[in-house]
Chain A
């Protein structure tokens, strides 16, 4: 027998009681009629353990509580109901298992999300998303280049290539004043070419190859797919880990569209180049040079370039378009070896000079 206090859950008043243990129950004596005198040990819950006293609850009567005094009561209860002290691994295991299953379902949903989302996005909305992304990336990387002659030469080349691709909407070409060697396709037909790439290119055919590749991405809406997948991933990660939602525009710079998407874009590029009579060999060579690494951020070793390259490596063509021997082989196998130049010499000079002014025209 131990002495204790019973709380009926109706008022905060303590009622002194006597407590005893049987093999299956805890018996409370001194209660008014109608109050629970016999508590199943299997329904017991430990509320708190103090110095020489215990606070107990029972699942059968959620409002009532019992406090039992005496240092030896804990030992007696432990002997009668050892499961009260055992960690509830089975329950914890169920929770963890359920959470992991839920997380797996979310990841699977994430993979299929773009297939559902992308067809639902209208061309005009995609165009607006692309314009926003293009503006943000351009600002992030040092502004736009818009020498009119160079822009005209580039657009003439790009529009011609786009015609061959059979797009259902026009493309928009942006040139970014940055030494980073990169080009990327934003949603809605917005294509960004970094000046680093134009400067690194040895011939107009190389630029044509890169443009044709990006037009391939535009044709298959790879950018929208990637964007919706990234936003979904960010959303899921945020809900898992906690934290706030981040900026979505830089997502395109860091994620590759995936091996299958790159192959699709390559095939389209070769088809377009062939139709225009442009050689694919320079395009293949360009990827060879990228793979060797000499084209990373330009060979100039001046301070600005190194400083930029330190933290802009993420914006590198190498990271977003992983070169592989198979891709170069495919380009060489299916593309023309000889071809005509897609630009006149004067147009090529204008293109090379597209960023050679500080007075941006707005």
Chain B
């Protein structure tokens, strides 16, 4: 094994991750999971997800050695139950109570404030959930017996995420690159693998040009798609325009209503399709920026995915989603993981004997909140 002792040396060799997972390898796991999840009315999903993760993690290799997922279904299930009773049950009651108060004369304002407070709390918890999910997953990831670690419990991250999101809302989303950069920085600088530390020193500035281009292109493509839809409607309705077409369809009874619903759905789909390209283009630029300014123990990381790669990935996943009605989600996750893994590289590598085992205890639970927010993913 070739190791380089210091990141300052010139012409560092590049190392990449390998991925050897396959559709055929994952299929039996997904089929059994599906069956057991149906039998248990959905409760098996925590164990199902664990099995998929074990397969996906073990498909990633670095220096020939596989990664390992050591989480269990029981941990996910118990974490979920705790959050269900301690967070989501009281929250559900608060929303119910707010609804009633808002219908009670004289207490509308109180009800509205309760509802507002509950939504704000949800927004805060969303950030916490995201951080804790990643923290749990990293702590359950091992390579050569060494495990990952995310410092802090996520409450501070949740607060920063909350404040920045409010600011971004007031700025109509214009602060998005700044905020994702800040959040990535916060998370990266608290990420470790073994005793080795990740670090991030990137600025949001270089993200603004691609961001502006992506926003401009999105607006342009939305306008073009909407114009196209209007022309199609005009052609279908014999030159009458949208209002006339709506009236004609409504006059047709239920059949006409279905036509309108189908057309609306098709319209949304077309607009989504049009916006996908600039959004994905920006996403891949952002990934390159984020990983390109990240280091592990001082050794620079980089991301080499291109727009063509991510667009093909997205189209394929869309196809899988439609063909399997969403049941093929694990395959979509596998394709995402493969995309991320195969395009990430590190220049040089710390001496392996210098990477010690992560210190401190593992978080015992972690993804309950994320499950509640449907942040689950794989």
Interface: A116 (CB within 8 A): no
Complex: how many Å from CA A63 to CA B40?
A: 34
The 8 A CB mask of A75-108 against B (1 = contact, 0 = none) is 0000000000001000010011001101100000
By the criterion of a CB under 8 Å from any partner CB, how many residues of chain B are at the interface? Answer: 51
Interface: A340 (CB within 8 A): no
Interface: B377 (CB within 8 A): no
Stretch at the interface among B89-97, B170-178, B198-206, B304-312: B89-97
**A241 touching B41, Cβ below 8 Å:** yes
Whether A245 contacts B92 in the complex (CB less than 8 A), given A9-B146, A47-B58, A240-B42, comes out as yes
**A69 (CB) vs chain B CBs: closest residue:** B64
**A9 (CB) vs chain B CBs: closest residue:** B145
**B354 touching A11, Cβ below 8 Å:** yes
Contact residues in A for B142 (Cβ distance below 8 Å): 65
Complex: how many Å from CA A49 to CA B55?
A: 10
Whether A96 contacts B39 in the complex (CB less than 8 A), given A64-B145, A65-B145, comes out as yes
Contact residues in B for A67 (Cβ distance below 8 Å): 64-65
Interface: B26 (CB within 8 A): no
Contact of B40 among A64, A87, A99, A239 (CB under 8 A): A99
Stretch at the interface among A19-27, A124-132, A348-356: A124-132
Complex: how many Å from CA A131 to CA B107?
A: 12
* Of A10, A12, A53, A100, most B-chain CB atoms within 10 Å: A12
Contact of B66 among A13, A48, A63, A249 (CB under 8 A): A48
**Residues of A269-290 contacting chain B, CB below 8 A:** none
* Of A51, A131, A242, A249, most B-chain CB atoms within 10 Å: A242
Interface: B189 (CB within 8 A): no
B49 to chain A, nearest CB (A): 11
Contact of B374 among A92, A132, A242 (CB under 8 A): A242
**A51 touching B144, Cβ below 8 Å:** no
Interface: A202 (CB within 8 A): no
Contact residues in A for B146 (Cβ distance below 8 Å): 7, 9, 11-12
**B354 touching A103, Cβ below 8 Å:** no
Interface: A319 (CB within 8 A): no
Interface: A43 (CB within 8 A): no
Complex: how many Å from CA A235 to CA B91?
A: 12
**How big is the A interface, by class?**
35 or more
Whether A50 contacts B61 in the complex (CB less than 8 A), given A9-B145, A242-B374, A244-B374, comes out as yes
Interface: B180 (CB within 8 A): no
Contact residues in A for B20 (Cβ distance below 8 Å): 50-51
Complex: how many Å from CA A67 to CA B68?
A: 13
**B39 touching A135, Cβ below 8 Å:** no
Contact of A63 among B96, B100, B145, B352 (CB under 8 A): B145
Complex: how many Å from CA A135 to CA B99?
A: 10
**B58 touching A55, Cβ below 8 Å:** yes
**B66 touching A11, Cβ below 8 Å:** no
Interface: B232 (CB within 8 A): no
**A132 touching B104, Cβ below 8 Å:** yes
**B144 touching A7, Cβ below 8 Å:** yes
The 8 A CB mask of A134-175 against B (1 = contact, 0 = none) is 011000000000000000000000000000000000000000
Interface: A35 (CB within 8 A): no
Contact residues in A for B114 (Cβ distance below 8 Å): none
**A100 touching B352, Cβ below 8 Å:** no
Q: Which residues of B contact A (CB under 8 A)?
A: 1, 20, 32, 36, 39-45, 47, 58-59, 61, 64-68, 73, 80, 84, 88-89, 92, 95-96, 99-104, 142-146, 194, 253-254, 352-357, 371, 374, 376
Q: Which residues of A contact B (CB under 8 A)?
A: 5, 7-14, 47-51, 53, 55, 57, 63-65, 67, 87, 92, 95-96, 99-100, 102-103, 128-129, 131-132, 135-136, 231, 235, 239-245, 248-249, 306, 310
